[in-house]
Amino acid sequence: MPRSRRLDIPDLLQHVIVRGIERRDIFLEDADREDFVRRLSSLARETETDCLAWSLMSNHFHLLLRPRKATLGTVMKRLLTGYAVAFNLRHNRSGHLFQNRFKSIVCDEDAYLLELVRYIHLNPLRAGIVSSLSELDSYPWCGHAVVLGKREMAGQKVPEVLGLFSKKTAVARERYSAFIADGDVMSRRKNLVGQRDWKAASDAETHMNFDSRILGDDGFAEALRSHANLAPRISLKIPVSDIIAAVVEELSVAASAVTTNSRSPAISKARAVVCYIACSMGHTGTTVGSVLGLTSAGVCAARARGRAIVENGDVVVAKFMMHGNSGNYVQ
């Protein structure tokens, strides 16, 4: 079967997984790891590629990248080729070091950015390379210690990750640490390493809709596949304010209350549904958060709750809007 075309699109979040040929180790000593991290750091800065998370294992590694200037293929070719040549020289070997093709998964950033950061940074703990979270906090071959400020790697977008938790660095690091500690079980989900998230479907529908290149819901995947240039977003262009108006009308709550910090269950439900609809239509978490008064992390969490509400059939207008039946806004 021919291999699927890689979704190599600028400004898209990509979870990259690279394994050693025949599952052999690709890091034999700290000199190898130091060389790899130096190359990754240099390339990230040179090519303007955002590195949000990374972890080095024994026979594979994980990267969470957002290419801005160069394509992912270009960045990875330079990284892997340069490292393989140096590795072979150091260890007096020849031949291929990596599997023929690295794995890359395009990810719906609004839904999965934080989950992927946590999943990747917990890899050394889950694999038993480190024995505890406190040991992981200072482990040098993972981006987690860099986020905590205990290690340095130029090119890793630490402020962006911390900014999802708080504008104050100390508070953000405390919340990030709690998020990591809370996620050891949750982040074992298989769909974070290459199975696209989709609603329950028949076997035939699952086979037809499955795309191992994509991590996101049906709307995100369809947007990627349907656009002629594989643009990262296909927006239905329904303003967030109009989404709010439709949701609050059905749920009989005040529109003004949705943009406040009210903890009313009804208001929380409306906010969650708005987050899910707006993000699924292509609005960024930052945009939605600016309207609702939420952080990007808050939008991410609310979107997950909203999805469950919509899938349970509790908000009819949501399915109506998301299937393109909203008139002149559809493009």
Model confidence over 123-166: pLDDT tens digits?
Answer: 999 999 999 999 999 999 999 999 999 999 999 999 999 998 99
Predicted confidence (pLDDT) per residue in 71-122, tens digit: 888 899 999 999 999 999 999 998 999 987 788 877 767 667 888 999 999 9
Reported confidence tier of residue 233, pLDDT bands at 50, 70, 90:
very low
Alpha-carbon gap, residue 15 to 213, rounded angstroms: 10
What b/e readout covers 188-201, taking b as 16+ CB neighbours within 10 angstroms? eeeebbbebbbeee
Token couple for 149: 């400020």
Enter the DSSP assignment of 156: B
Query: What's the average model confidence in pLDDT over 243-251?
Result: 87
CATH of range 13-192; options 3.30.70.1290, 3.40.50.1980, 3.40.50.150, 2.30.30.140: 3.30.70.1290
Q: Which residues contact 99 (CB under 8 A, 6 or more apart)?
A: 18, 19, 20, 21
β-strand partners of 18? 61
Q: Which tokens in the block code for residue 194? A: 């290459």
pLDDT digit string, tens, across residues 259-301: 888 888 999 999 999 998 888 777 888 888 889 988 878 888 8
Q: What is the Cα–Cα distance from 122 to 238, expressed in whole angstroms?
A: 38
Residue linked to tokens 């390493």:
193
Query: Which pair of structure tokens corresponds to residue 62?
Result: 């994980």
Distance CA 309, CA 265 (A): 13
User: Quick one: 204 exposed, middle or buried, by C-beta within 10 A (0-12, 13-18, 19+)?
Assistant: exposed
For residue 231, pLDDT beyond 60: no
Is it true that domain 235-324 has CATH number 1.10.1750.10? yes
Q: In the 3-class helix/strand/coil scheme, how is 126-154 assigned residue by residue?
A: HCCCCCCHHHHCCCCCECHHHHCCCCCCC
Q: Which of 67-81, 202-216, 313-327 has the lowest mean pLDDT?
A: 202-216
Domain parsing of the chain, residue ranges: 13-192, 235-324
How far apart CA 319 and CA 282 sit, in angstroms, is 15
Per-residue pLDDT at 318: 63
C-alpha span between 232 and 224 (Å, rounded): 6
Residues β-bridged to residue 15 = 64, 105
How big is the chain, counted in residues?
Answer: 331
Question: What's the distance, CA 123 to chain centroid?
Answer: 15
pLDDT of residue 223: 56
* Residues 20 and 126: beta-carbon distance below 8 Å: no
- For tokens 């949701």, what's the residue? 247
Question: What confidence tens digit (pLDDT) does each residue in 24-79 have?
Answer: 999 999 999 999 999 999 999 999 999 999 999 999 999 999 998 888 888 999 99
Residue 139, SS3 per DSSP = coil
What is the C-alpha separation between 52 and 12, in angstroms, rounded?
12
